[in-house]
Structure 1
Amino acid sequence: MKLKPKRLNKGDTIGVVAPASPIRSRGHLHQAVKELKSWDFQVKLGEHVYRKHGYMAGTDQERADDLNAMFKDKTIDAIMVTNGGYGSGRILDLLDYNMIKQNPKLLVGFSDITSLHLALQKKTGLVTFHGPGVMKWNPQDFSSYSKEYLLKAISNNAPIGAIKVEDDKNWVDIIYPGQVQAEIVGGNLALLCASLGTPYEIDTKGKILFFEDWNLEPWMMDTYIQHLKNAGKLDDAVGFVIGECAHCDPVFHAGTGIYGCLSLEELFAELIQPFGKPAIYGLPLGHTASLATIPLGVEAYLDATNGKLVIKENGVI
């Protein structure tokens, strides 16, 4: 059963947690909090948000405790993560899903947070939001485009509508033409693969599969896509939306020449096109300066012939 969180209104309180890697600096987080407050929201930081445990923001228990606490806290209206990185998958069995189901709230994040999206959708039916972590909110990383789509997604109970591209900054490559309407699911490609064989495995049956990744050479993308194919996830899907994949071009390796010389476009033509299902690549839904926030688990319309994705269902109530 689909469970939708309440939309955010001015004056509402956002809880900020770090379920994956540690923050880059306190000053950076303070700047992000200041930005949130300028949007007329209140902010409460998780108890362990400044912790560091190797490449994670505290121990597994500390990170899980913070997320559970934010869902349980009646004064918190929405939850946003600081950043991705690594570690969300380590806390999935420490979350109180029954409590979360009784206290549905907005959750916004992407990249490593894909693990949380999948787990919450599987265990509670909660519609969650693939969008920027608050550490992206600085003049260098957070564009007016990103802000527009974030606020449209979390503060408006009408459907987001079409995901537009920024002029001269994005393009959309048509992998296979056609139209389809279905629920959209997905997230970071590597984390989607990591979910296979677990209680949180992604379900693509009759759904539009969205994925993105970054800093992977084409041969690495090939490996992950083949994994999904071998697991039947591409057969099950009715369409594909691939977000812009930053820093995923072939890399020159000294002594071996170009290793993995297929471009991403060529790779998608070989691996995705043969399914004969509507498919596009290049929307700003990944590790890029401009990132559109979209709800996961809602109806979307994919017009691959014209390179368009339209979110047809509201993600909040």
Structure 2
Amino acid sequence: MKRPAKLKQGDEIRVIAPSRSIKILSDEGIQLAKQRLENLGFKVSFGKNTSISDLQQSSSIEQRIEDLHEAFADQQVKAVLTVIGGFNCNELLPYINYQLLMENPKILCGYSDVTALANAISTKCQFITYSGPHFSSFQMTGLQDYQTNYFIKCLMGAEPYQVYPSTHWSDDLWFLDQENRVYEETEWKVYSAGETTGSLYGGNLCTLNLLQGTPYFPDITDSILFIEDDELTNPETFARDLASLLQAANGIKGLLIGRFQKVSRMTEEQLYFILDKHPQLKNIPVLYDIDFGHTQPSITLPIGGTIHVHSNLRKVEIVNF
């Protein structure tokens, strides 16, 4: 798997909206996120169609494809950052010029619905993409340092590094109220002990499963999976989606599960009940309540990269990214 060129100070980041439009953000939020990225030393530009918003708060397939292709074709652009998630990113997959992207590999970063786009590009073009902050994520004030630290390590660094738990996490509506937030102490937890090294694939579970049976689904057999889900999941749907993914994998080497949002009603008892159904998960390293997904803060992970997991030590090392 090829690694796109790392970001450097002064590089241009292009913001595009392959799911929801940038119109979902406030003008103040856009300026705050842009300023934070500029303070890190980057130039920020926007796709021409990011502000178009239709009945489903998105734009046409043609407009989203245009922005994606222009971002990868523009030699001044060194990374592509998505505005936010949504529900329709997978609509784009048959219309992407994968040859264009393959000839111009560069960083693509986002999460949630962008799972479909990132995994499809890694699969078809054979270069690493990234599950990490959206452009909109840089609006957040509290817990931003942890999130930004791993964004920089993954997208600018070259040497392997270990990921450590955040000190605190939050599942509040920070985008509505930055001042009155509720924080809880972080604890990464072990379901089964073990140690392994392997290729990493995953992202938002229900979105990744949309790719099954298509040419855009990665070969996840013998990989390490990372999965998370949002407020729309519950124990029953998570169990069904996990079973489907494990059946598609035909054997995996490790599993990382992102922290669940509170509204999902996923208790530790429910999670163990679900995981206990799958004998293979007792013989590989499995960690849960990890810092990625729809709670804050979130690390950046390389889709198609290589990681090392030592679950009983709660150790995750990013090796090739």
Q: What is the TM-score when the length of structure 2 is the normalising length?
A: 0.89
What pairs with 1:69-88 in structure 2 (closer than 5 Å)? 69-88=70-89
RMSD: 1.9
* Structure 1 counterpart of 2:98: 97
**1:134 lines up with 2:135 in the alignment:** yes
Per-residue CA deviations over 1:119-146 (Å, capped at 9, x if unaligned) read: 1111100101110101111244652100
Deviation of the 1:178 alpha carbon: 0.8
**1:250 lines up with 2:265 in the alignment:** yes
Structure 2 residue identity aligned to 1:263: Q
Equivalent residues of 2:25, 2:136 under 8 A apart: no
Aligned with 2:300 (options 286, 293, 299) = 293
**1:238 lines up with 2:242 in the alignment:** no
Deviation of the 1:266 alpha carbon: 3.4
**1:178 lines up with 2:194 in the alignment:** yes
Deviation of the 1:228 alpha carbon: 1.6
**1:217 lines up with 2:249 in the alignment:** no
Structure 1 residues 261 and 121, CA, compared in 2 at 3 Å: closer, same or farther?
A: closer
* Structure 1 counterpart of 2:246: 229
Tell me, what secondary structure is at the counterpart of 1:199?
coil
- Give distance in 2, aligned partners of 1:278 and 1:262: 19
Gaps of 5+ in 2: 169-184
Q: What is the TM-score when the length of structure 1 is the normalising length?
A: 0.90
- Give distance in 1, aligned partners of 2:46 and 2:153: 23
Structure 1 residues 73 and 198, CA, compared in 2 at 3 Å: closer, same or farther?
A: same
Structure 2 residue identity aligned to 1:178: G
* Structure 1 counterpart of 2:311: 304
Aligned with 2:288 (options 270, 281, 294) = 281
Deviation of the 1:269 alpha carbon: 3.5
Structure 2 residue identity aligned to 1:195: L
Equivalent residues of 1:104, 1:126 under 8 A apart: yes
- Give distance in 1, aligned partners of 2:229 and 2:142: 17
- Give distance in 1, aligned partners of 2:268 and 2:122: 37
Structure 1 residue identity aligned to 2:238: M
Equivalent residues of 1:81, 1:109 under 8 A apart: yes
Aligned with 2:219 (options 203, 212, 234) = 203
- Give distance in 1, aligned partners of 2:119 and 2:264: 28
Deviation of the 1:153 alpha carbon: 1.0
Structure 1 residues 125 and 274, CA, compared in 2 at 3 Å: closer, same or farther?
A: closer
* Structure 2 counterpart of 1:257: none
Deviation of the 1:262 alpha carbon: 5.2
Structure 1 residues 53 and 203, CA, compared in 2 at 3 Å: closer, same or farther?
A: same
- Give distance in 1, aligned partners of 2:217 and 2:223: 14
Tell me, what secondary structure is at the counterpart of 1:180?
strand
Deviation of the 1:238 alpha carbon: 1.1
- Give distance in 2, aligned partners of 1:249 and 1:139: 22
* Structure 2 counterpart of 1:256: none
Structure 2 residue identity aligned to 1:241: L
Provide the aligned length of Structure 1 versus Structure 2.
302
- Give distance in 2, aligned partners of 1:184 and 1:96: 24
Structure 1 residues 229 and 139, CA, compared in 2 at 3 Å: closer, same or farther?
A: closer
